Amino acid sequence: MKEQVEKALEKIRPALQRDGGDVELVEVGDDGIVKVKLTGACGGCPMSQITLKQGIERVLKQEVASVKEVVSV
């Protein structure tokens, strides 16, 4: 599952990088919870939770069926 998550994150990464940020995969739990770290401009952005839930989480759930939730650490 970790490889699938990494592959899906590669689809999201260019959009984040255009805005000066990035996403780093921290952990993929057996329970379907994916932990990521938003870096660069995304790390301190007030819109980061929207990016996390409506962007990253939405894409990961579409691409990897076993993903239940994405959380920022």
What's the pLDDT score for residue 43? 87
| Bridge-based pairing state of the strands 33-40 and 21-28 | antiparallel
Q: Kindly state the average pLDDT of the residues 24-28.
A: 97
Domain coordinates in residue numbering, the chain: 2-72
Q: Please check whether residue 60 is in contact with residue 4, taking contact to mean a CB–CB distance below 8 angstroms.
A: no
What's the pLDDT score for residue 45? 87
Q: Please check whether residue 8 is in contact with residue 63, taking contact to mean a CB–CB distance below 8 angstroms.
A: yes
The tokens 């990464």 sit on which residue?
A: 13
What's the DSSP call for residue 57?
A: I
Note the pLDDT tens digit of each residue in 56-69. Answer: 999 999 999 999 99
Phi, psi of 11, deg, nearest 5: -75, -30
| Bridge-based pairing state of the strands 69-72 and 33-40 | parallel
Note the pLDDT tens digit of each residue in 38-49. Answer: 999 998 888 999
**Which homologous superfamily is 2-72 in?**
Fe-S cluster assembly (FSCA) (3.30.300.130)
